[in-house]
Amino acid sequence: MNADAAAIFAPLRDEPRAVGAFNAILLEHAEAIVAGAEQAGLPVILQISQNAIRYHGSLEPFAVACLRLAAGASVPVLVHLDHIEDRRLVGEGLALGIRSIMFDAATLGYEANIAVTREVTGRCHAAGCWVEAELGEIGGKDGAHAPGVRTDPAEAAGFVAATGVDSLAVAVGSSHAMAGRDAVLDDELIGALAAAVPVPLVLHGSSGVPDDGIRRAVARGIAKVNIGTRLNQVLTGSVRATLAERADLTDPRRYLAPGRDEVRDEVARLLRLLRVRDT
């Protein structure tokens, strides 16, 4: 079923657990994400990034497919646009019925980020759309691990008040596209941000964080955990193994189906991991 963002986040306010948000590039990703959520019996956020939109050449075909998958699911599925920098895509998403968007102006200065994000937030709220923004740098490994680019709690509180955003992605030590799982998060900073910021906190780059680190982050106040690279690793590893055993295969269904199943199982595992109260 297509989910409402507010309904997904409301139960997380008073309990140390988070919702999993997984990036889909291929239809197989999207199918596996929904199937994994159904396997776990838990809500999920199905994300489409601006990079994925660029890969497909346009937003509509893939977004419509994801919305249809969500509508047919037996658990709540929220289709969300991730790291959108192009304001034109915001309008396209709203027109298609997307009701959750992460608008990313984090590369701008603090004041410019506020001004642009406030304008986009007003536009989205008028359409009933949840808005996530980012403060701090969650980019390449070196930059995101430098103390100077971490999110400041006082700035974060001021940013949320000035923009009206519904959730905030924060820089606390993770990085996008990490091949290993050795990122060390700043647990004290996560706790300080959770105390200072009145909206749900989002951890990007979570594929590079070990399970125990994710658990601690959720226990300290992270409410949404974004995962993309990990799913690509699982899918690609499965495809490589299948083709190594069957070099004669040419039908993509024969090597993508096992990969899709492995991604489904990993999504279910990670969703259960985020229910820290059960561990």
pLDDT at 106: 82
Write out the two tokens for 9: 């986040």
Catalytic residues: 82
Q: Work out the number of other CB atoms within 10 angstroms of the CB of residue 73.
A: 20
Query: In this structure, what is the dihedral angle of CA atoms 41, 42, 43, 49, given to the nearest 10 degrees?
Result: -100
pLDDT at 276: 73
Give the right CATH number for 5-278 from 1.10.3720.10, 3.40.50.620, 3.20.20.70, 3.40.50.12780: 3.20.20.70
pLDDT at 137: 53
pLDDT at 140: 44
| Helix/strand/coil (H/E/C) assignment for every residue in the chain | CECCHHHHHHHHCCCCCCEEEEECCCHHHHHHHHHHHHHHCCCEEEEEEHHHHHHHCCCHHHHHHHHHHHHCCCCCEEEEEEEECCHHHHHHHHHHCCCEEEECCCCCCHHHHHHHHHHHHHHHHHCCCEEEEEECCCCCHHHHCCHHHCCCHHHHHHHHHHHCCCEEEECCCCCCCCCCCCCCCCHHHHHHHHHHCCCCEEECCHHHCCHHHHHHHHHHCEEEEEECHHHHHHHHHHHHHHHHHCCCCCCHHHHHHHHHHHHHHHHHHHHHHCCHHHC
> What is the full per-residue pLDDT of the chain (279 aa) written as tens digits?
888 899 999 988 878 899 999 999 999 999 999 999 999 999 999 999 999 999 999 999 999 999 999 999 999 999 999 999 999 999 999 999 999 999 999 888 888 999 999 999 999 999 999 999 998 654 444 444 444 578 889 999 999 999 999 999 998 876 665 666 667 688 999 999 999 999 999 999 887 888 999 999 999 999 999 999 999 999 999 999 999 999 999 999 999 999 999 999 999 999 999 997 544
pLDDT at 139: 47
pLDDT at 176: 66
